[in-house]
């Protein structure tokens, strides 16, 4: 309300209140309300009630008027919009900013929050019911028999790889989504490429480990199969974090060079879902829950969480990720995760060979285009070779073994070079399980002092004998949290190490009758316990 107190306020009368519309009409149209109303409606400043077009309606019209825009839906039925080769989630802050900018450009005014919310709700419905469904990926994907890699640059360029070669293109087959942490990748070189330039910056001298790491690195550019987890360990000063950052820069550049391990499963799943490749740095301890979650994320399991507390909708994460961890000690001691890992042990770098990380990274950035180009050269050859790969003895990570053999051949090595290196690594995993598991250590020593004469009895009897031997012969504290406190816990612990013992020639058998449950531990006949030959467990 505009109220006039003065008697000298022409053209307004004193001691009288005026509405905003009245003030506008008196000042701009000499009090002609009909003329004033017509002007406001004709110039789209206000709308008549019977032809009212809300801000939300105008926001939706902005989208409908544009010909280079596509609405569609993806995972969990979320709505997306494709704008000039860039995919944006409709519920994201980025889309709200874009839509508000477009509204300002057309009407020179800002939309209110409620109008933005209402418009986005309608666009979500259009994307779901009228738009196509597209599976979206982060950084790399398969589409139409081509392997794609998103450079995530302002030019919206992608690498398209086939059996006959690779090239840089601007087309987007609607397969890539991006997150705020993603950084652009350098453009790969097309000549004088050499992936082996990476070893100028990596502290690995053993040839088997070099072959294994190189195959693993290139395999991370191929999605949709289970990749083992890369577990790097070694003393301080062995450049573990530097290796982790270099691999991250090559595979999936990010503002998050290396990450900390989240404290609970929900946070861990959320982090994994936003990265195609991620490295967890300086890990000193890994909980059983985290270990189990990483196992599932490697093999491609699904995870569920509630979207909002006020509704009953679920968000489903289907993960199959490339993951790495590093630490002074090897923290992946659970057999299930070790079976899905590649172990790389680094040695401390001498002071005379050490470089400042900034200097090393500056040099690496100069070679990165040639390294990346070498990877794409190898990937193209791998796609041609892979369909002819046949392996007689396939390890647990079967797809990785097959792809790895093809990559090894594409690099000019023999496929056996890779499999020899991988089998050697698997043997190291088995030794690690037996050397780091308290129950395994005690059983091995207990049976050895018996001359490997078969032992048979109940789980209660076994727990009693192992506890006595551990305390009096091995000086092990059986009161700590790692020692099983009950027969059923011992049985579960035996199940964890049973398969690893089997591969070392020791059979642990559970026999169940109507009256008892018996555990038997025995050495397989004619089996040398120092051998790494495969054996079969009977249970």
Specify if 100 maps to a domain.
yes
Least confident window among 77-81, 246-250, 523-527: 523-527
Specify if 312 maps to a domain.
yes
> What is the mean pLDDT of the segment spanning 131-156?
91
Q: Are residues 292 and 409 in the same domain?
A: yes
State residue 399 phi and psi, 5-degree precision: -65, -40
The parent domain of residue 248 ranges over: 195-422
pLDDT digits (tens, 9 = 90+) for 284-341: 888 888 888 898 889 877 666 655 444 445 566 667 889 999 988 877 777 788 888 9
Specify if 236 maps to a domain.
yes
Specify if 530 maps to a domain.
no
Q: Are residues 416 and 506 in the same domain?
A: no
pLDDT at 237: 87
Q: Are residues 287 and 376 in the same domain?
A: yes
Q: Are residues 305 and 349 in the same domain?
A: yes
Q: On the CB side of 492, how many CA atoms lie within 13 Å of its CA?
A: 8
Between CA 84 and CA 241 the distance in angstroms is 37
Q: Which of 392, 422, 452 is the last residue of a domain?
A: 422
Q: Is the pLDDT of residue 83 over 80?
A: yes
> What is the mean pLDDT of the segment spanning 5-9?
82
Q: Are residues 41 and 114 in the same domain?
A: no
pLDDT digits (tens, 9 = 90+) for 398-436: 999 999 999 999 999 987 889 999 988 888 877 777 777
Q: Is the pLDDT of residue 68 over 90?
A: no
pLDDT at 427: 82
Q: Are residues 267 and 213 in the same domain?
A: yes
Q: Is the pLDDT of residue 45 over 80?
A: no
Specify if 158 maps to a domain.
no
Q: How many domains does the chain have?
A: 4
Q: Are residues 253 and 397 in the same domain?
A: yes
Q: How confident is the model at residue 159 (pLDDT cuts 50, 70, 90)?
A: very high
pLDDT digits (tens, 9 = 90+) for 482-502: 788 898 888 888 887 887 788
> What is the mean pLDDT of the segment spanning 38-46?
79
pTM for this one? Answer: 0.76
Instruction: Give 334's DSSP letter.
Output: S
Task: For the chain, give the mean pLDDT.
Answer: 86
Q: Are residues 34 and 70 in the same domain?
A: no
pLDDT digits (tens, 9 = 90+) for 343-396: 998 888 888 788 888 889 999 999 999 999 999 999 999 999 998 888 888 888
Between CA 356 and CA 361 the distance in angstroms is 9
Q: Which residues lie across from 306 on neighbouring strands?
A: 314
Q: Are residues 122 and 266 in the same domain?
A: no
Between CA 126 and CA 120 the distance in angstroms is 10
The stretches of 130-153 forming alpha helices (DSSP H) are none
pLDDT at 391: 85
CATH of the domain at 475: 3.30.56
Nearest to 288 by CA among 259, 265, 258, 322: 265
pLDDT at 53: 59
Specify if 536 maps to a domain.
no
Q: How confident is the model at residue 51 (pLDDT cuts 50, 70, 90)?
A: very low
Q: Are residues 412 and 451 in the same domain?
A: no
Cα-Cα-Cα-Cα torsion 367, 372, 375, 377, nearest 10 degrees, comes to -100
Q: Which of 422, 446, 479 is the last residue of a domain?
A: 422
Between CA 434 and CA 427 the distance in angstroms is 11
DSSP letters of 411-434?
Answer: TTS-HHHHHHHHHHHHHHHHHHHH
Q: Which of 48, 65, 85 is the last residue of a domain?
A: 48
- Structural element, H or E, at residue 487: helix 487-503
pLDDT at 317: 62
pLDDT digits (tens, 9 = 90+) for 126-140: 999 999 998 888 899
Specify if 511 maps to a domain.
yes
pLDDT at 139: 93
CATH of the domain at 284: 3.40.50.300
Two structure tokens written together for 280: 């967890």
Between CA 293 and CA 145 the distance in angstroms is 31
Q: Are residues 64 and 85 in the same domain?
A: yes
Q: Are residues 252 and 333 in the same domain?
A: yes
426 Cβ contact partners less than 8 Å away, ≥ 6 residues apart: 395
């Amino acid at each position: 309300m505009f109220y006039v107190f003065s008697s000298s306020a022409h053209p307004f009368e004193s001691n009288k209140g005026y509405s905003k519309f009245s003030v506008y009409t008196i000042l701009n149209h000499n009090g002609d309300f009909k003329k004033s109303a017509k002007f406001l409606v004709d110039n789209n400043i206000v709308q008549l009630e019977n032809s009212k077009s809300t801000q939300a309606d105008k926001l939706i019209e902005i989208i409908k008027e544009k010909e280079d825009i596509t609405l569609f839906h993806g995972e969990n039925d979320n709505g997306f919009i494709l704008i000039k080769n860039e995919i944006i989630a409709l519920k994201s802050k980025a889309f709200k900013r874009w839509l508000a900018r477009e509204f300002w450009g057309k009407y020179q005014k800002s939309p209110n929050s409620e109008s933005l919310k209402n418009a986005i709700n309608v666009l979500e419905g259009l994307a779901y019911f009228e738009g196509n469904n597209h599976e979206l990926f982060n950084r790399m994907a398969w589409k139409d028999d081509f392997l794609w890699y998103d450079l995530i640059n302002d030019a919206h360029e992608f690498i398209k790889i086939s059996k006959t070669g690779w090239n840089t293109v601007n087309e987007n087959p609607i397969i890539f989504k991006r997150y705020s942490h993603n950084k652009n990748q350098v453009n790969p070189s097309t000549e004088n490429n050499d992936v082996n330039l990476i070893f100028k910056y990596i502290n690995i001298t053993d040839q088997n480990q070099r072959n294994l790491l190189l195959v693993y690195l290139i395999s991370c550019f191929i999605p949709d199969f289970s990749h083992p987890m890369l577990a790097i360990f070694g003393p301080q000063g062995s450049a573990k974090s530097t290796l982790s950052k270099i691999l991250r820069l090559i595979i999936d550049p990010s503002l998050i060079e290396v990450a900390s391990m989240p404290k609970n499963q929900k946070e861990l799943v959320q982090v994994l879902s936003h990265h195609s490749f991620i490295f967890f740095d300086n890990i000193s301890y890994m909980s059983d829950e985290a270990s189990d979650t990483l196992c599932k994320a490697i093999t491609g399991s699904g995870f569920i969480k509630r979207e909002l507390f006020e509704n009953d909708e679920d968000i489903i994460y289907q993960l199959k990720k490339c993951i790495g961890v590093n630490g002074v000690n090897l923290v992946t001691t659970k057999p299930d995760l070790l079976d899905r890992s590649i172990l790389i042990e680094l040695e401390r770098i001498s002071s005379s060979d050490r470089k400042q990380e900034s200097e090393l990274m500056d040099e690496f950035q100069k070679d990165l285009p040639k390294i990346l180009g070498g990877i794409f050269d190898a990937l193209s050859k791998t796609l041609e070779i892979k369909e002819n790969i046949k392996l007689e003895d396939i390890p647990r990570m079967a797809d990785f073994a097959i792809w790895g053999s093809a990559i090894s051949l594409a690099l000019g090595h023999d496929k056996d070079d890779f499999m020899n290196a991988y089998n050697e690594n698997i043997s190291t995993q088995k030794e690690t399980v037996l050397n780091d598991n308290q129950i395994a250590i005690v059983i091995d020593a207990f049976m050895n002092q018996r001359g490997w004469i078969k032992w048979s009895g109940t789980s209660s009897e076994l727990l009693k004998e192992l506890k006595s031997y551990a305390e009096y012969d091995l000086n092990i504290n059986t009161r700590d949290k790692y020692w099983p406190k009950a027969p059923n816990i011992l049985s579960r612990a035996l199940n964890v190490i049973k398969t690893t013992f089997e591969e070392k020639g020791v059979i642990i058998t559970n026999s169940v009758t109507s009256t008892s449950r018996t555990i038997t531990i025995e050495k397989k006949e004619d089996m040398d316990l120092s051998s790494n030959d495969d054996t079969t467990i009977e249970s």
